[in-house]
C-alpha cells in the first residue's frame, strides 16, 4: 500500500482526535484520499503520506537543507541520545500509571526525528503519535522518512486537533501555544517542554562570535509562564558534552539559523577541526494540566 493510503488508514483509525481548523467540526476520512468536515472543508492526503491542514499559506525560515542537517545530527550523532532517553522514561512512567493507550502530539516537530527516536526508545505499541509543524518542508521530510507517526502541516496556534484527545504533548525547542495545548490535552494530560539553557551549543556560538555580550541567561520567565498554565511536576536539567566529528560539525553548523549571519571564515575555521566537544544544555519541563491526585 502506498504511503498516502497507509496514512489515510491510520488517520481513519484515530479520526476522533482531529478536527477541522476552519469550522472546528469533527472530520472524516473520505475514500482514503481526504479529510472532510460536515461543511465540506477538505484536506487531501499528499502522496508522501501527510495532510496539509493549514488554512493559509505558511512561511518558515527553516529550509530543506536545515532540516536535512537536523535529521543527520539527531539520527546519526549521539548528541541528543540523553534527551531522548529522559523523555522516553517520563512517557514510560506516565503510561505505566494507567494512562495507556495514549495519543502523543509533537507540537513543532520539524522534520520529525526527535519524535521518531523517542518512539523507538519507548517501544510501546499503545502509543499513537502525531507530528505537527507549520513547515511543509519539515513535514514532507518526516513523512518520507518515518511511517509510524501521522504527519500534519498545521499551525499550533489553531491546531486541527480535537479537544481533550491527547494524553501527552511534546514541545521540543519550538514555540508553544499553551491555550491550545490545554484545549487538546485530556484532564490527566501531560506536557513535556524542552527549552535551551545558556550553554546550549556554546562552542558553535563562540566560534561564530554570536552572543558575545550575552548576560547569564535563566529560564525564570519561561518557567513562570509554563506554571501559569500547568502544574510543574518535574524539572530536569540536562547538561553534557558530546564529541562531534568533522562531518557532524558541518551538519551542526547547518542545522540552526546561527550560521546565517556569520562570516564564511568563521564557519570554515570551526568545521576544519577534527572533532569538538559540543555542549547540550537543556531544561525539560514536565507538567500536568491539573494537579495530580495526592500532589501538592
Ligand X SMILES: C[S@@+](CC[C@H](N)C(=O)[O-])C[C@H]1O[C@@H](n2cnc3c(N)ncnc32)[C@H](O)[C@@H]1O
Report what 60 binds from Zn ion, ligand X, none; CB cut-off 5-8 Å by kind.
Answer: ligand X
Chain residues binding Zn ion by CB under 5 A are 20, 22-23, 37, 39, 41
Chain residues binding ligand X by CB under 6 A are 60, 62, 70, 108-110, 114, 133-135, 138, 155-157, 172-175
The smaller minimum CB distance to ligand X, of residues 49 and 108, is found at 108
Report what 134 binds from ligand X, Zn ion, none; CB cut-off 5-8 Å by kind.
Answer: ligand X
CB of 266 to ligand X, least distance (A): 21
CB of 197 to ligand X, least distance (A): 15
Separation CA 150–CA 53 (nearest Å): 13
Is residue 141 within 8 Å of 111, Cβ to Cβ?
yes
The smaller minimum CB distance to ligand X, of residues 85 and 188, is found at 85
The smaller minimum CB distance to ligand X, of residues 60 and 81, is found at 60
Report what 109 binds from Zn ion, ligand X, none; CB cut-off 5-8 Å by kind.
Answer: ligand X
In three-state secondary structure terms, 296 is coil
Cross-strand pairs, 152: 51, 132
Cross-strand pairs, 285: 193, 235
Report what 20 binds from ligand X, Zn ion, none; CB cut-off 5-8 Å by kind.
Answer: Zn ion
Separation CA 136–CA 50 (nearest Å): 10
**Backbone phi, psi, residue 161, to 5°:** -130, 140
**Backbone phi, psi, residue 9, to 5°:** -65, -45
| Residue at grid coordinates 488508514 | 9
Report what 174 binds from Zn ion, ligand X, none; CB cut-off 5-8 Å by kind.
Answer: ligand X
Q: What beta strand segments (E) does the chain contain? A: 28-30, 34-36, 42-44, 50-52, 102-107, 127-133, 150-153, 166-172, 185-196, 231-245, 275-288
For ligand X, the nearest residue by Cβ is 110
CB of 60 to ligand X, least distance (A): 4
CB of 22 to ligand X, least distance (A): 16
CB of 219 to ligand X, least distance (A): 16
Amino acid at each position: 500500500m502506498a504511503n498516502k493510503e497507509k496514512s489515510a488508514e491510520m488517520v481513519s483509525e484515530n479520526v476522533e482526535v482531529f478536527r477541522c481548523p476552519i469550522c472546528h467540526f469533527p472530520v472524516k476520512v473520505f475514500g482514503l484520499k481526504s479529510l472532510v468536515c460536515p461543511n465540506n472543508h477538505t484536506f487531501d492526503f499528499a502522496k508522501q503520506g501527510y495532510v496539509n491542514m493549514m488554512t493559509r499559506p505558511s512561511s518558515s525560515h527553516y529550509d530543506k537543507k536545515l532540516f536535512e542537517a537536523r535529521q543527520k545530527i539527531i539520527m546519526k550523532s549521539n548528541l541528543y541520545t540523553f534527551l531522548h532517553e529522559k523523555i522516553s522514561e517520563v512517557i514510560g512512567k506516565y503510561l505505566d500509571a494507567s494512562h495507556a493507550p495514549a495519543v502523543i502530539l509533537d507540537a513543532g516537530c520539524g522534520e520529525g526525528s526527535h519524535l521518531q527516536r523517542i518512539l523507538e526508545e519507548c517501544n510501546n505499541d499503545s502509543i499513537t503519535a502525531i507530528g505537527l509543524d507549520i513547515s511543509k518542508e519539515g513535514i514532507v521530510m518526516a513523512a518520507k522518512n518515518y511511517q509510524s507517526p501521522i504527519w500534519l502541516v498545521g499551525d499550533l496556534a489553531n491546531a486541527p486537533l480535537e479537544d481533550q484527545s491527547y494524553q501527552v504533548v511534546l514541545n521540543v525547542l519550538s514555540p508553544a501555544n499553551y491555550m491550545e495545548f490545554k484545549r487538546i490535552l485530556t484532564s490527566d494530560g501531560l506536557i513535556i517542554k524542552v527549552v535551551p539553557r545558556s550553554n546550549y551549543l556554546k562552542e558553535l556560538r563562540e566560534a561564530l562570535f554570536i552572543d558575545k555580550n550575552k548576560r547569564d541567561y535563566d529560564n525564570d520567565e519561561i518557567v513562570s509562564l509554563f506554571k501559569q498554565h500547568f502544574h510543574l511536576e518535574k524539572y530536569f536539567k540536562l547538561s553534557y558534552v558530546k564529541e562531534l566529528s568533522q562531518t557532524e560539525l558541518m551538519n551542526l553548523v547547518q542545522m540552526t539559523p546561527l550560521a546565517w549571519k556569520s562570516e564564511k571564515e568563521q564557519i570554515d575555521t570551526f568545521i576544519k577541526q577534527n572533532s569538538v566537544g559540543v555542549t547540550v544544555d537543556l531544561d525539560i519541563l514536565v507538567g500536568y494540566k491539573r494537579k495530580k491526585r495526592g500532589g501538592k
